[in-house]
Amino acid sequence: MAKLIVGNWKMNGLGPALAEAQAVAAGLAGSLAGSLGGTLGGSGVRVGLCPPATLIERMARSLSGSPVLVGGQDCRAEASGAFTGDVSAEMLSEAGAVLVILGHSERRAGCGETDALVAAKVEAALRAGLEPIICVGETLAEREAGRAVAVVATQVRGSLPQVLAGRAFSVAYEPVWAIGTGLTPTTAQIEEIHAAVRAEMSAVLGVPGARAPILYGGSVKPANAAEILSVAEVGGALVGGASLKSADFLGIIAGAG
């Protein structure tokens, strides 16, 4: 199964930042013999970038024909309506997105998103033909209380609707305490949680849940990417700050080859 490496630019990037995305595409085409559709020929890696909504259309246009997939960082569950400031899955698709990140810890914590809301957004993404990346993860307090596995399993159970069966999707495990802190779980800790996520995905969705990739997201850098990506059940990475610089992001992608 091809590994999936996705960069989440969060609320970073104006027009000039598109040069970094173009450098990623050029690096993939030049050094890894990329083929169309986001899969790199012979390397078993799919690559995506999720910029702010203001850049999606421009990035999709500038990367047209490249191996880089473009995605959004969130979507509204409804297709349209009086929801000032929100963006629907259909709007993302029209702008050129093919992926969408849902349930990121920053939205769960900062915006009060529940598992049920995340599941509704997943259904919206599928309705619009987008491939959802569904985030789960525990806080430091939950880990220190010995509840990491239970918390993540509950999030998987509540955030993955049955309509995912037979559709392309992934789950991203992001230890909240490692995001942007420079802290990284041990490979044993990553393996434990990914195994628990896989078990829950399989219980919820059957065979499709046993096959969909599980990404790791939490201070992934070129220096630790190869080690993390070699851990059992790690099917890729959701990369934050390191995806803003093409050299760093390409270094992480190389760790998956």
Question: Which ranges of 32-167 would DSSP assign to H, the alpha helix?
Answer: 53-62, 89-95, 105-110, 115-127, 140-144, 148-159
Q: List the Cα angle 179/185/187 in 5-degree steps.
A: 135
Reference 108, options 72, 67, 159; nearest CA is: 159
DSSP string for residues in 194-232: HHHHHHHHHHHHSHHHHHS-EEE-SS--HHHHHHHHTST
- Whether residue 104 lies in the annotated active site: yes
Which residue among the candidates 90, 174, 200, 233 is catalytic per the annotation? 174
Q: Which residues of 59-71 are buried (b: 16+ CB within 10 A; e: fewer)?
A: bbebbeebbbbbb
Q: Are 45 and 2 in contact (CB under 8 A)?
A: yes
* CA distance linking residue 107 with residue 213, whole number of Å: 22
Which residue among the candidates 20, 90, 104, 142 is catalytic per the annotation? 104
- Residues taking part in catalysis: 104, 174
